């Protein structure tokens, strides 16, 4: 899968040009998590930097930032748009086997990247390896296990020319997928499913045809990420957006759920999350 991904990202001009539309519209929360407690001059590594927008914004805060991507196309465009200098560099790197020395960075971060990697565990191990003891790992990504999202996918299935990877080729198949994803969500929430659920990404077509994340490689979710980071000996905090606005949010406010139930609801409904982890200072990690 890794070779196919690299070939696709290195050759698709259409995908490159779509990145500006699909990247975070608001970097505020992500940048705040990345830079929390850091002084100017800190060494940052952003994996999957795409066109380099957030790498540049971090460098403007006075941090020394290296933005990497597996695609030479993306890196070339990032250099063209933002240039390079003492505080900003771009490099072509495979996040599952990076060329950097151990303990090279104070912060390793990524936004909307992890859902596109071919080997989740290998990438997290590499990020951990190049992070200094006491350093912070910040990963912002979508969650694909919201059963309400799957119901929406089913209801809007006919609105796309081609189904996304987690949708079947027929409407009946999409309906069955809704129940399958709901079960996986429950199993992971209950600790019954500890397997990374990989997908076969659609490496042709466009966002207009397939919808967002048609190139996703696994069912990204907070449960797996938290479990893997804890396995690396890291202190982990999962940050979710506030309860979605609209009728559901209003209902939750009226019900006045206890804190734990409210957080469980928000975790279930969250379309995305940010994992913030700190590398142990103890020897051996």
Q: Considering only 27-41, 106-120, 246-260, which range has the smallest mean pLDDT?
A: 246-260
DSSP states along 206-222: -HHHH-TTTT--B---H
Q: Please provide the distance, in angstroms rounded to a whole number, between the alpha carbons at the two ends of the chain.
A: 29
Q: Check if the beta carbon of residue 139 is closer than 8 Å to that of residue 117.
A: no
Q: Using 50, 70 and 90 to split pLDDT, how confident is the model at 152?
A: low
Residue 196 pLDDT class (50, 70, 90 cuts): very high
Q: Which two tokens stand for residue 205?
A: 């077509």
Q: List Cβ neighbours of 134 (8 Å cut-off, separation of 6 or more).
A: 278, 279, 281
Does residue 17 carry a pLDDT above 50?
A: yes
Rounded CA gap, 186 and 181, in Å? 9
> Per-residue pLDDT for 85 more than 60?
yes
Question: Is 145 a residue whose pLDDT tops 90?
Answer: no
Domains identified in the chain and CATH numbers: 2-143+220-244+271-278 (3.40.50.150), 147-210 (no CATH)
Q: How confident is the model at residue 208 (pLDDT cuts 50, 70, 90)?
A: very low
Average pLDDT over residues 255-259: 57
Question: Tokens 């690396």 label which residue?
Answer: 232
Mean pLDDT of the chain: 81
pLDDT higher than 50, residue 246: no
Q: Which residues pair with 69 in a beta bridge?
A: 92
**Between 175 and 235, whose confidence is greater?**
235
Residue 29 host element (H or E): helix 28-35
Rounded Cα–Cα distance for residues 278 and 132 (Å) = 10
Token couple for 11: 């050759």
pLDDT at 218 over 80: yes
Q: What is the band of 164 on the pLDDT scale with cuts at 50, 70, 90? A: low
The angle formed by the CA atoms of residues 229, 231 and 235, to the nearest 5 degrees, is 50
């Amino acid at each position: 899968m890794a070779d196919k991904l690299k070939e696709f990202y290195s050759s698709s001009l259409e995908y490159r040009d779509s990145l500006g539309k699909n990247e975070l519209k608001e970097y505020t929360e992500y940048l705040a998590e990345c830079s929390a407690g850091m002084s100017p001059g800190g060494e940052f590594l952003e994996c999957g930097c795409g066109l380099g927008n957030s790498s540049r914004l971090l460098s403007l805060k006075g941090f020394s930032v290296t933005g990497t991507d597996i695609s030479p196309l993306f890196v070339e465009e990032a250099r063209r748009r933002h240039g390079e200098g003492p505080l900003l560099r771009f490099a072509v790197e495979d996040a599952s086997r990076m060329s950097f020395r151990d303990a090279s960075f104070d912060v390793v971060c990524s936004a909307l990247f992890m859902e596109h990697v071919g080997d989740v565990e290998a990438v997290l191990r590499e990020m951990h390896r190049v992070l200094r003891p006491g350093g912070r790992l910040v990963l912002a990504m979508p969650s694909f296990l919201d059963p309400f999202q799957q119901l929406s996918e089913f209801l809007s299935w006919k609105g796309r020319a081609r189904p996304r990877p987690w949708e079947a080729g027929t409407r009946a198949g999409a309906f069955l997928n809704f129940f399958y994803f709901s079960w996986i969500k429950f199993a992971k929430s209950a600790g019954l499913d500890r397997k990374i659920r990989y997908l076969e990404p659609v490496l042709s077509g466009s966002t207009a045809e397939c919808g967002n994340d048609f190139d996703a490689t696994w069912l990204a979710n907070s449960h797996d990420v938290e479990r893997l980071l804890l396995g690396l000996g890291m202190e982990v905090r999962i940050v979710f957006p506030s309860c979605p606005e609209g009728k559901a949010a209003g209902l939750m406010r009226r019900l006045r759920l206890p804190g734990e139930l409210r957080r469980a609801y928000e975790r279930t409904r969250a379309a995305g999350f940010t994992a913030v982890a700190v590398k142990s200072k103890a020897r051996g990690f």
